[in-house]
Structure 1
């Protein structure tokens, strides 16, 4: 228990001091290892770094990041948003439905919540201001929609969960599909009810003819094509998740080329963004693996298992405790860090209590999604606010509250109806 307290205090202290996440995690590992471990753990840093960074499955991360960056900088993402706007703007809540739908579409090919939130904010906020939408709720719908990027396949976070727990990536991908789409529909249902109840204060949006709607479908075809390439190649057995990511990049380049959007500037900006994001993710994963190695060397996982046995709680009471812990930690720890710090410690215990590894992964990802839009460290909150450059971040936080409650509802539904997650897995 002393190790847990020291680890959390040191980690939160370093994060409060704005020390980079990877350095904070490594700092905790060094301090805990120095004071609590009898093993020569520091001699293993090189081996851990090499072993972690050469895992084949992690090669998919830069490919999926590059795919999202190419779509963003080429302008295809903008076309996707306006195509969905043409189809959905007539609904009560109009453009906010477009925010959620565009986030869902973009999530299905980018795998990144931050990239999704940044992209949709860039193209949607000017439209929201033009038609007089409630600034907080409109921004909140974008931030919440962006969280779908870590649940709807292909998801970088699901890849990392699979890597950390040795769980099948294809099974995780297919398991996240129905919950991801259902969560998007719940978001849209709330927007629909809210707009009817408040009777909408926004200006009436432009009406579109069926001819215009059908014409815009061509701008959705790239997303459908890429999703079929990525997911189809995996489930047909033609490619591994890593190879499918590479195929996705090739498909994106082909689409951009024939759309006459491929140029030097797009390539340079996309590669730069990919290098920055991939470097950040890999440093965090390496540092977290070192921390997990240190915690195992001091017997923390065994200590947690003994603690749970002494508590003599049921599996669902344990799930409730884990849920509360994730919600609290999500207030203070960035999502990727939250994953790599907690999952290697918690999942072995949860699985030993009878929880399915795939179901547990989707459930925890939904809790981690919440951390993206809960203050004070919700990353999507700051992404949206930094791009909108108007009002205060408190407006965005308030706008996200209903969507946080919907995520809790979704987590509850997964407990009652686990087949929401597991039904499609049986066909993989």
Structure 2
């Protein structure tokens, strides 16, 4: 059981390094190098360069910067703000009024972005000034922004699903298809919570708002067409077999450029800022990916995945009990680990367990991304909490944390649904 004991020590060290403020990729790499040196000397450290090249020399990963770049173009070109205003016209009659706009806009933007952090920053920038003018409860506004943004990594095109597919050699198209219905169910659950809370406490929705004239509302509906067209171009080309995910991402970038040119917002400063932001996000993501791949390689050589699978199989528990234990495990990990790092670091250990109890890799991919969504809004590490607070610009993060609590229950509800009824993902 030396491998399991070593993995436990390594995980403790990883938590410590993250606690003292080291970057996620640096922490993963330090643990991997120390583990390799401790058990094998420098023999296992030498292949790192070759492994890094082998990891990144993957055509599929080119989709990541392209999807990020596409989202940045749409945000900086004003397409997202137009979309938000159009959705606001049609959510005002619902109990909770404009709070539903945050969820609806996050759902639409998720289908053309693939990033939760980008979704939180984008929707929050548009939302907070509007809600303050209407005297909405700040915690519900912040909670709906941070939680709605988590849809960015579930509804395709999802960067996390692309990385999962690359690691596990699972069809990206099948993962994207499986993510649509759970994403829509989660958005509906978020909106259901807002309706329930607004009926019980109407004050959270602020002052009643004037409805825009019908002619104005119909005219602004046209601003929802461009995101829909881009989604259909990207996903349709994948589902029809006309393009790989990477090629489809390129199609999306071209469509986004054409759209911003049509709106006359395409210029060099906007394009430069979009490129810089896309490079920054991609560099951070791929650095974590390389470090986690090397850590997984060391764990694999130590035999940790096989030992853990054998250890777990020795327990006489049913599949549902095992999934419940995994939910508890990921909830705990989500309090300390970055969502992407948590996903990449646990796949080689947990996937064999899940397949052993009868669930397939596609189901596990959606389950894992849902747990990553929960991690994104779980203190103290949840990235969406701090992005939302940064955009909010006043008070402290405790208001955001209080606001996301009802939405955390919605994520757990969808996890329960796909566990009991896995056919939802077909």
The answer to whether TM tops 0.5 is yes
Could you tell me which residue of structure 2 aligns to residue 396 of structure 1? 400
Q: Is the 8 A contact 1:93 1:200 kept in 2?
A: no
Could you tell me which residue of structure 2 aligns to residue 2 of structure 1? 5
In the alignment, the residues of structure 1 paired with residue 234 and residue 70 of structure 2 have an alpha-carbon distance, to the nearest angstrom, of: 11
What are the equivalent positions in structure 2 for 1:21-420 lying under 5 Å apart? 21-37=24-40, 40-201=43-204, 202-420=206-424
Question: Cα deviation per residue 1:303-352 (whole Å; 9 max; x = unaligned)?
Answer: 11221132233322221221111110001101111111111221122113
Aligned-residue offset at 1:39: 7.8
Q: Is the 8 A contact 1:92 1:200 kept in 2?
A: no
Could you tell me which residue of structure 2 aligns to residue 425 of structure 1? none
Q: Is the 8 A contact 1:37 1:298 kept in 2?
A: no
Q: Is the 8 A contact 2:114 2:152 kept in 1?
A: yes
Q: Is the 8 A contact 2:165 2:175 kept in 1?
A: yes
Aligned-residue offset at 1:38: 6.4
Question: Cα deviation per residue 1:121-158 (whole Å; 9 max; x = unaligned)?
Answer: 00000011110010011100000000000110110011
3-state secondary structure, aligned to 1:200: helix
TM-score with structure 2 setting the length: 0.97
Q: Is the 8 A contact 2:95 2:199 kept in 1?
A: yes
Q: Which runs of 5+ in 1 are unaligned?
A: 423-428
Q: Is the 8 A contact 1:100 1:142 kept in 2?
A: yes
Range with greater deviation from structure 2 (193-202 or 111-120): 193-202
In the alignment, the residues of structure 1 paired with residue 356 and residue 264 of structure 2 have an alpha-carbon distance, to the nearest angstrom, of: 54
In the alignment, the residues of structure 2 paired with residue 321 and residue 40 of structure 1 have an alpha-carbon distance, to the nearest angstrom, of: 36
TM-score with structure 1 setting the length: 0.97
Range with greater deviation from structure 2 (368-377 or 33-42): 33-42
Q: Is the 8 A contact 2:83 2:223 kept in 1?
A: yes
In the alignment, the residues of structure 2 paired with residue 308 and residue 199 of structure 1 have an alpha-carbon distance, to the nearest angstrom, of: 48
In the alignment, the residues of structure 2 paired with residue 193 and residue 55 of structure 1 have an alpha-carbon distance, to the nearest angstrom, of: 46
In the alignment, the residues of structure 1 paired with residue 200 and residue 83 of structure 2 have an alpha-carbon distance, to the nearest angstrom, of: 29
Q: Is the 8 A contact 2:71 2:112 kept in 1?
A: yes
Q: Is the 8 A contact 2:320 2:419 kept in 1?
A: no
In the alignment, the residues of structure 2 paired with residue 398 and residue 247 of structure 1 have an alpha-carbon distance, to the nearest angstrom, of: 40
Aligned-residue offset at 1:29: 0.1
User: What is the root-mean-square deviation in Å for CA atoms of aligned residues?
Assistant: 1.1
In the alignment, the residues of structure 2 paired with residue 182 and residue 20 of structure 1 have an alpha-carbon distance, to the nearest angstrom, of: 34
Aligned-residue offset at 1:86: 1.0
In the alignment, the residues of structure 1 paired with residue 202 and residue 240 of structure 2 have an alpha-carbon distance, to the nearest angstrom, of: 48
Q: Which runs of 5+ in 2 are unaligned?
A: none
Question: Cα deviation per residue 1:31-62 (whole Å; 9 max; x = unaligned)?
Answer: 11111236811111011100001111111000
3-state secondary structure, aligned to 1:420: helix
3-state secondary structure, aligned to 1:123: helix
Q: Is the 8 A contact 1:172 1:361 kept in 2?
A: yes
3-state secondary structure, aligned to 2:46: helix
3-state secondary structure, aligned to 1:297: helix
Question: Cα deviation per residue 1:150-179 (whole Å; 9 max; x = unaligned)?
Answer: 110110011111111111100000100011
